[in-house]
Amino acid sequence: MPSDRPIFVVGCPRSGTTLLQLMLHSHPRIAIPPETRFMVAAYQRRLRFGDLNDPMRRRELAEWVVGRRQSRFHQLRLDGEEVVRQIVEGPPTLGSALGIVLRFYATQHGKPRWGDKRPSYFQNIDVLLRLFPDAQFVHLIRDGRDCVASLKEMPWYNGSVYSAVSAWAEAADFARYGAPRLPEGSYHELRYEDLTADPEAQLRRLCGFLGEDFAPAMCEPRLIANVAVPAHKTWHSRTHGEVTAARTGTWRARLEPWEISLCESVLGDRLETYGYELSGAPRAETSRMVAYERTAAKRKLARVKRVAFDRLARLREPNPLGARLTSGQLVLAGIPLPRSEP
């Protein structure tokens, strides 16, 4: 039986996740939309939506997803009224409602398998597993120095170099310490440098993990960039060209000497763990390290607060959260699978 498990692409921002999204979307059975940004927001508001056994509550949830500008639902180019109808008539769980949007997107592209991409999802793997307990996660890792250099240049990035370094450290630490605790068969990791140097070999391994046959079209993501990447995202312009390794290692020219020292002082052991060679830059100045530690501590405190609030919210949830859309989800929910036609 072909797999119908949802697929989520994660990684530090500017690690190549949009390229990987396009590669997966090029597969004849898989549809991965542009970033939706309603998944975690809906989870955090779940108590406000109330008891989803009530169809009116499901309608309120559906209209929130469809009408909320920040969720970028409009970029999916879906029939909002039809999405609302399917959610109202669908299973009474939050995961089902959110999954219905992704499933409908896949259906519009003539594909049976669906998923989502957002770099920061690595911070919310526990949430995604509550919503989609049979999910598979694909983590793309790129040289942290290249990620920091790229983040600095983004028009939408308003953080500091210290925040960028901390974000890569968190993604790498998730891969080292969080991923091994995930359910067997739910996590796959690959490096951006390997993916761009030999796309076919890496994509064949990825397809093996997903339980799919390799499709040569996956190596030509530029052919669908006009369809799957919103035009206003000019920072993704390179996805319209050939897959290339030309950007690998460009941090040497794009980072200031002190920024290289900071990256290697903070991330050195992590970089080496993933096969990245250090430049031998001198250790960062004490004032720079102190500034980084302050930033990292603030980010950690925000995570701790988020986890604490979430634990309190879990005590008041009126419904199970898990989606009931795929065969694996139905089994985990204790619901008999529909009988196939003779």
Distance from chain centroid for Cα 53: 29
Beta strands in 150-303 (DSSP E): 187-191
CA–CA separation, 151 and 153 (whole Å): 5
CA distances in angstroms from 274 to 112, 194, 267, listed in the order given = 34, 11, 11
Confidence band for 224, pLDDT divided at 50, 70 and 90: confident
Would you say residue 232 has pLDDT above 70? no
Residue 7 pLDDT: 98
Would you say residue 234 has pLDDT above 50? no
Residue 246 pLDDT: 84
CA–CA separation, 103 and 96 (whole Å): 10
CA–CA separation, 18 and 40 (whole Å): 19
CA–CA separation, 269 and 288 (whole Å): 18
76 vs 227, residue with greater confidence? 76
Closest CA relative to residue 136, chosen from 8, 273, 323: 8
Closest CA relative to residue 141, chosen from 188, 184, 208, 182: 188
Residue 157 pLDDT: 86
CA–CA separation, 170 and 296 (whole Å): 9
What's the chain's Rg over C-alpha atoms? 21
- Tens of pLDDT along 300-330? 999 999 999 999 999 999 999 999 999 999 9
Cα–Cα–Cα angle for 212, 245, 175, rounded to 5 degrees: 55
Would you say residue 239 has pLDDT above 70? no
The predicted model scores a pTM of 0.93
